[in-house]
Amino acid sequence: MVFPVSGVEVNPLVPFVVAFIISFFTSMGGVSGAFLLLPFQVSFLGYTAPSVSATNHVFNILAIPSGVYRFVREGRMLWPLTWAVIIGTLPGVFIGAWVRIVYLPNPDSFKLFVGFILLYIGWRLLLDVCRRKSDNKAKGSTGPAGTTHSVRVISSTLRKVEFDYDSEIFMFSTPMVYGICLFVGIAGGIYGIGGGSIVAPFFVAIIGLPVYAVAGAALMGTFVTSIAGVVFYQILAEFHPHLSVVPDWRLGAIFGIGGILGMYLGARTQKYVPAKLIKGMLCVCVLLVAGSYILNFFHFSR
How does pLDDT run across 220-258, given as a tens digit for each residue? 888 888 888 888 888 888 888 888 888 999 999 999 999
* Between 55 and 50, the higher pLDDT residue: 55
Task: Give the residue, 228 or 161, on which the prediction is more confident.
Answer: 161
| Residue 3 domain flag | no
- Asked if residue 144 belongs to a domain, the reply is no
Residue 164 has pLDDT above 60, yes or no: yes
Class of residue 140 by CB neighbours under 10 A (exposed 0-12, middle 13-18, buried 19+): exposed
**Per-residue model confidence (pLDDT) at position 137:** 46
Flag whether 56 is in a domain. Answer: yes
Q: Of residues 283 and 55, which shows the higher confidence score?
A: 55
Answer yes or no: is pLDDT of 147 > 60.
no
Residue 61 lies in a domain: yes
Q: Is the pLDDT of residue 132 over 70?
A: no
Please report the pLDDT score of residue 12 as a whole number.
93
**How high is the pLDDT of residue 280?**
79
pLDDT of amino acid 194:
59
- For the segment 114-129, the average pLDDT, to the nearest whole number, is 80
Number of domains in the chain: 1
- pLDDT for position 228: 83
Q: Among 6-10, 34-38, 275-279, which stretch is predicted with the lowest mean pLDDT? A: 275-279
183 pLDDT band (50/70/90 cuts)? confident
Whether 24 is in a domain gets the answer yes
Residue 95 placed within a domain:
yes
Q: 197 vs 1, 11, 16, 297, CA distance in Å?
A: 31, 28, 21, 23
Evaluate if residue 116 carries a pLDDT over 90: no
For 160, list phi and psi in degrees, rounded to 5.
Answer: -155, 160
Q: What is the 3-state secondary structure (H, E, C) of the chain?
A: CEECCCCEECCCHHHHHHHHHHHHHHHHHCCCCHHHHHHHHHHHCCCCCCHHHHHHHHHHHHHHHHHHHHHHHCCCCCHHHHHHHHHHHHHHHHHHHHHHHHCCCCHHHHHHHHHHHHHHHHHHHHHHHHHHHHHHHHHCCCCCCCCCCCEEEEEECCCEEEEEECCEEEEEEHHHHHHHHHHHHHHHHHHCCCCHHHHHHHHHHHHCCCHHHHHHHHHHHHHHHHHHHHHHHHHHHCCCCCCCCCCCHHHHHHHHHHHHHHHHHHHHHHHHCCHHHHHHHHHHHHHHHHHHHHHHHHHHCC
pLDDT at 97: 75
Specify if 242 maps to a domain. yes
- Mean pLDDT for 172-197 is 79
pLDDT above 70 for 107? no
Give, in order, the Cα–Cα distances in Å from 256 to each of 40, 57, 143, 171, 227: 14, 10, 34, 35, 13
- Quick one: how far is CA 231 from the chain centroid? 18
Domain membership of residue 251 (yes or no) is yes
- Domain with 109, as residue range(s), is 10-131+152-300
